[in-house]
């Protein structure tokens, strides 16, 4: 759970036509989330999260925001590296990604594997679920 902010973040697959456009938008969302997290800006991170967000930890969007503010307060420096292991679009308007997120500190690198589900809302994509993977 210590990387929950990172799971809303993240980064950089390939397909054709509209799918490619959707893929680009999802990757842009990951990049925006990563930048917002590194800037420790919980409101910018939450702007990428759907109102109906939920996760296995029992967090909804409001409690995720509270968690992020506390996590950012406890971590004055956030430097992340995000690897998109897979990105799929099983049905129109739904994306599923498996990410590996590394939190780089002066003394250590912590890695977290995260499964993220996103839904398209008009032209925009929003994170609706993010859970740690084993």
CATH number, position 19: 3.10.450.50
Buried (b) or exposed (e) across 52-65, using 16+ Cβ within 10 A?
ebbbeeebebeebb
Residue 101's beta-bridge partner residues?
Answer: 82, 112
Domain that holds residue 98: 4-132
- Put simply, whether the predicted model's pTM sits higher than 0.85 gets the answer no
Residue range 84-118, pLDDT digits in tens: 999 999 999 999 999 999 888 656 778 899 999 99
Mean per-residue pLDDT for 7-27? 59
Q: Are 32 and 41 in contact (CB under 8 A)?
A: no
* 29 pLDDT above the threshold of 80: yes
> What's the Cα-to-Cα distance from 92 to each of 22, 46, 65, 95, rounded to whole Å?
10, 24, 28, 8
Helix (H, G, I), strand (E, B) or coil at 132: strand
Number of compact structural domains in the chain: 1
Residue 94, pLDDT score? 98
């Amino acid at each position: 759970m210590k990387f929950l902010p990172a799971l809303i973040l993240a980064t950089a697959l390939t397909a054709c036509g509209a799918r490619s456009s959707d893929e680009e938008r999802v990757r842009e969302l990951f990049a925006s989330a990563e930048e917002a997290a590194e800037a420790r800006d919980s409101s910018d991170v939450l702007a990428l999260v759907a109102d109906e967000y939920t996760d296995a930890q029992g967090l909804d969007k409001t409690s995720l925001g509270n968690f992020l503010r506390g996590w950012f307060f406890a971590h004055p420096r956030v430097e992340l590296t995000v690897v998109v292991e897979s990105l799929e679009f099983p049905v129109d308007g739904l994306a599923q990604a498996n990410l590996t997120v590394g939190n780089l500190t002066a003394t250590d690198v912590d890695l977290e594997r995260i499964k993220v589900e996103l839904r398209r809302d008009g032209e925009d994509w929003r994170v609706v679920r993010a859970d740690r993977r084993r």
